[in-house]
Structure 1
């Protein structure tokens, strides 16, 4: 049985997971922000750069699968020691391959390490975040995801400064990797060993039972209904990250600068609503929050697609960002309602959501090549509607301490 933690231990645990979310976002954005320099230093074309991104995406899918096994075998806390080191090692190898060896093959290896390390850490930090949330008995998951968003903003900002100052890719990525490694591993020292996330080596549950539990959640219809909520909103978020700038330039005929501003508006709206989301959920409940925000996201995206001018387009983008902000974190929160299945359920939900993140953009790219980017976005409107219709699945189960509302 898990022993009760003191208030100080709970606060340190929460701060530790906030930190891991933040530095993971920072590490990811550090690499993404230097892609133009990576392309120039390696002397590669867009197709070869696309292959690098595909390798990273494929490795991330492997990482998702490994995360489930690691959590069942060793627990989330011990697992993150390995996956954070793997992620940081990817940044170190990437810097070496780009700037000093100028080797495409070495950078491919780095993409494998970063992809596996990032996605596996992502699953496990969500498992821990769900356990923190249940311990505090209030909705915290949106705030954890806001810290990831803030990390990506910080990473992108540092990347802009590094590029402007002509700092080499290696020195930038090595600095980011060192920060991820030191902050990540130091934070894990404040994470308690908890049976609920399979960390307690003295627990009587056999590993065979843990793997059986891992598989059993895939037979639960609620897993797939929560997956539908997360799938729609992951597409809504991921499509903006990858295609909003293109839609502004190619679809609405705006400049590249305006496209960058549009993505910033989307990111700010999403981050703000993630910061504000917890109290809203605790007031009106998880289900009604998801329903209202799915309507906001759908209306916002339709407004953007049909926008007759730039101000209307920006209003649509802000609604789209705000509406898409909570689907993913609240799906994670719903998956963690049953403490006995929390680790397995959050792992399953994360897998469904991240597959949408990874597979969505290339699929949309192929479709937009056939019919154009703005018509393609109607597919996302349909997926948002599906997410809204599935929102009832996020209703807290009996005994859950978060998400019911009226606090």
Structure 2
């Protein structure tokens, strides 16, 4: 992020690069699941377990991340976990069998969880320090990273089907991105916002033992919306390449384009999301977005074929 003088813009670009990094890294190996399935001779159940290993690793990382955040800070944790994710791509391409691949993907999930927390902490600190919104556009760069990874996978497939070559190129690009990002990230000292005037500070929390209470109906519905949204997004990222190849008989170079199409639309939605929220409100966005997503999935499944799927 050399040459950018504005502190907000410099930090925003660096943090956006982390979001782009994570989207690129994840989509790189997710877009090549058909090749991994063939190389390791996996059944559908074994492939599902492989994908679940990443999620289990991410969930298991949260207690560890809490400790690492205190000891390392979000800047160092982001850099270390990003380097690990780059190297894990190489490890996955070289995995000799299914058990080793499970371990690699589990470790990948731990690194994903670490980078996810660290980069979001950087984004939250950026908004707090500069009193400017940035989070929606940061998340848009995650989808942009997924798009670039899918396009790279499709391009590499035109030249070679070798996983090691593809993941090697991706790892080099990711390490270069880490090097460019490092100087722009917020240090721990820079993450402390200026103290607000006394009249603007929130009231101090009351001391004493907190009582457990049942979640409200709104909280339950929002939790369900998040779960179903995550399941749908995960299906698009994890299974669309296999669906394209095995169900609608797409060519190998077209299979990664399922992730690419989803990523393009997510980038567009996230770029305009803040304006939509201001104009129509969060509740309407959730309801309309859910209907559009459900209708799109249903029509694609009923119609079949490469073009309706995309």
- Scaled by the length of structure 1, what TM-score is found? 0.58
CA 109–12 in structure 1, closer or farther in 2 if over 3 Å, else same: same
In the alignment, what sits opposite 1:110?
104
In the alignment, what sits opposite 2:287?
295
Larger RCO (alpha carbons 8 Å, 6+ apart): 2
Q: How does 1:26-105 map to 2 (within 5 A)?
A: 26-97=24-95, 102-105=96-99
CA contact 1:71–1:197 (8 Å) conserved in 2? no
Q: Are 1:148 and 2:142 an aligned pair?
A: yes
CA contact 1:146–1:275 (8 Å) conserved in 2? yes
1:85 deviation in Å? Answer: 2.1
1:24 deviation in Å? Answer: 1.3
1:294 deviation in Å? Answer: 1.1
State the number of aligned residues: 278
1:237 deviation in Å? Answer: 4.5
1:345-395 residue CA offsets vs partner (Å, 9 max, x unmatched): xxxxxxxxxxxxxxxxxxxxxxxxxxxxxxxxxxxxxxxxxxxxxxxxxxx
1:142-187 residue CA offsets vs partner (Å, 9 max, x unmatched): 1111100011011011112222322411121122122222312431
Q: Are 1:235 and 2:228 an aligned pair?
A: yes
CA distance in 1: counterparts of 2:148 and 2:220, whole angstroms: 30
1:241 deviation in Å? Answer: 4.3
CA 236–163 in structure 1, closer or farther in 2 if over 3 Å, else same: same
Q: How does 1:323-334 map to 2 (within 5 A)?
A: none
**5+ residue gaps, structure 2:** 193-208
CA 190–261 in structure 1, closer or farther in 2 if over 3 Å, else same: closer
Q: How large is the Cα RMSD of the aligned pairs?
A: 4.0
Q: Secondary structure at the match of 2:6?
A: helix
1:272-324 residue CA offsets vs partner (Å, 9 max, x unmatched): 1101123445x45xxx63112012123325645776986xxx99x99xxxxxx
CA 45–69 in structure 1, closer or farther in 2 if over 3 Å, else same: same
CA contact 2:18–2:181 (8 Å) conserved in 1? yes
Q: How does 1:1-40 map to 2 (within 5 A)?
A: 8-40=6-38
1:19 deviation in Å? Answer: 0.8
In the alignment, what sits opposite 2:198?
none
Q: How does 1:339-358 map to 2 (within 5 A)?
A: none
CA contact 2:151–2:257 (8 Å) conserved in 1? no
CA distance in 2: counterparts of 1:174 and 1:268, whole angstroms: 25
CA 74–54 in structure 1, closer or farther in 2 if over 3 Å, else same: same
CA 301–106 in structure 1, closer or farther in 2 if over 3 Å, else same: closer
**5+ residue gaps, structure 1:** 1-5, 199-215, 319-407
CA distance in 1: counterparts of 2:239 and 2:185, whole angstroms: 41
